[in-house]
Structure 1
Amino acid sequence: MFANMVPLDPERHAHKRILRPSGYDFAQSWELIPIGFSEIVPCSMWYPVFFARREERYGVFAMLGAGNTNIFVNPDGTWKTGIIPSLVRAYPFSLSPTPEGDFTILVDESALTEEKGEPLFEEKGQPSPYLENIKTELTRIAQDLHRAESMLKEVAEEGLLTLLSVKHSFTFGSLDLKNALTTNMHAFIKIKPEKLYYFNTKGYLPLLFTQNFSLRNFALFEIFKEYQGQIPF
């Protein structure tokens, strides 16, 4: 979904402006999106949420659909729920982590214009006030993603994660989710009380429980797909 994203460059994009979309048509084919620590509980109300690991990196993802179909976007480009993942709202900007622990700002070049929209850089190549606001928001998102990753590393060491595979055919497409991770609910009885207390004080327990419960949202995908407008429940 970020195939058209490139690093924002003060030379390459010196005289470009950004024209942000008025709706969410750009996300019609998005099947999943990374989410941060603070988004796990609210997103679990609507989306199936799962964990993933790639080498030593962990992440949290919200499932938006299947078969290149985002079931949460209406034909008119409006979003069907009031909970919209932050990286969806940040488009056409995104971020990519660097080995140094920082992040690089990405931008979808198809959203750049010569005349319309907000300027990205000033004459001397300094970020415009508009871009500074974007950087502030992306920094918040990056910190939230990092906090989620830190949580997953800690709970994984205690055996609180287990493999998750989902294979199902919907009327709008097929889903084949392999080697994902979910909360291992049966592992909590083996956790030492002091470690359980520690996870509770860190705010991890509600997130782990709601993530596991969110998997029931797969059963609602057909309903979400057919419903047009704001989902009332």
Structure 2
Amino acid sequence: MFKILKKMVPLEPRLHSGLGLVRPHDYGFAHKIEIVPIGFSEIVPCSMWYPVFIAKRGEDLGVFVFLGTGETNLFVNPDGTWKTMVIPNLIRTYPFSVRKEGDEYVVLVDEEFLREGEGAPLFEGETPTPYLENIRTELTNIALDLEKAGGFAREVFEAGLLKGLNIHHNFSFGTLTLRNALTADMQAFIKIQPEKLYHLNVKGYLSLLFAQNFSLRNLVLFEVFNSFVGTLPF
């Protein structure tokens, strides 16, 4: 799984019992985040607002969105509010995150938001509180969704439906440079075997490839989002 945020540590009763979590009151923590992984179910809604791309790191493949460049997240207003109604799950659930260790999913937390005697308690002795159990369930579902996105990316990569994506563009607020990423190769659909095409369509992959490819047009909106202040109602 790809990392986007630092300072994340596993939650452990031995270390964190007696501490409470004070969640951030806005999205100001994300004002420097430029790229974030998204899950399978997020690809279509995110493609409406963000440029979506696929990346390969070692043996792992994942799906990501651009949020900005030059350590500037264009989707966070100066007051910390988010500009659209579509917020990537790993941003929305911060300061929690999750990673897989063997067959288990481990809950991570940014220790900066832990307080003694404040916030929502996480453990009662050695036992997770109902609040933490709900968080764990949500994060496990997000982790499964991220893995499903990775499986989608791997299958279309192995099917030869992706091509290299190289971007270098100067905006008024900074330069965006991306190399060795991947995007849907629309010409490759012509060459694929009909039975393979049917298989990918049944799995819902073809619509995701179209959404991903079309989402790159959202790069032209970056200048708009750089100057826009407010929250769009959809």
With the length of structure 1 as denominator, give the TM-score of the two structures: 0.96
Corresponding residue for 1:121? 123
Corresponding residue for 1:38? 41
In structure 2, the gaps of 5 or more residues are none
Corresponding residue for 2:171? 170
- Structure 2: how far apart are the matches of 1:197 and 1:189? 13
Q: Does 1:197 align with 2:198?
A: yes
Q: Deviations over 1:129-155 (max 9, x none)?
A: 000000000011011011111111111
Corresponding residue for 2:112? 110
Q: CA deviation at 1:232?
A: 5.8
- Structure 1: how far apart are the matches of 2:205 and 2:190? 16
Q: CA deviation at 1:102?
A: 3.5
User: Does the CA contact (< 8 Å) of 2:52 and 2:65 recur in 1?
Assistant: yes
Q: Does 1:8 align with 2:18?
A: no
Which of the numbers 8, 22, 26 marks the counterpart of 2:25?
22
- Structure 2: how far apart are the matches of 1:103 and 1:186? 39
- SS of the equivalent of 2:16 reads coil
- Structure 1: how far apart are the matches of 2:83 and 2:117? 32
- Following superposition, which runs of at least 4 residues in structure 1 exceed 3 angstroms of deviation? none
- SS of the equivalent of 1:3 reads coil
Q: CA deviation at 1:106?
A: 1.1
Q: Does 1:85 align with 2:88?
A: yes
Q: CA deviation at 1:6?
A: 1.3
- SS of the equivalent of 1:12 reads helix
Change in Cα spacing, 1:128 to 1:69, as seen in structure 2 (3 Å) is: same
Q: CA deviation at 1:101?
A: 4.6
- Structure 2: how far apart are the matches of 1:103 and 1:57? 17
Amino acid in the other structure paired with 1:91 = Y
Q: Deviations over 1:189-214 (max 9, x none)?
A: 11111111111110111111010000
Corresponding residue for 2:68? 65
Amino acid in the other structure paired with 1:117 = G
- Structure 2: how far apart are the matches of 1:66 and 1:153? 26
- Structure 1: how far apart are the matches of 2:105 and 2:184? 28
Change in Cα spacing, 1:8 to 1:75, as seen in structure 2 (3 Å) is: same
With the length of structure 2 as denominator, give the TM-score of the two structures: 0.95
Corresponding residue for 2:182? 181
Kindly tell me the number of residue pairs found equivalent between the two proteins: 231
- Structure 2: how far apart are the matches of 1:21 and 1:209? 35
In structure 1, the gaps of 5 or more residues are none
Percent identical across equivalent pairs? 58
- SS of the equivalent of 2:151 reads helix
Which of the numbers 73, 79, 85 marks the counterpart of 1:76?
79
- Structure 2: how far apart are the matches of 1:147 and 1:86? 14
Superposed CA RMSD in Å reads 1.2
User: Does the CA contact (< 8 Å) of 2:50 and 2:215 recur in 1?
Assistant: yes
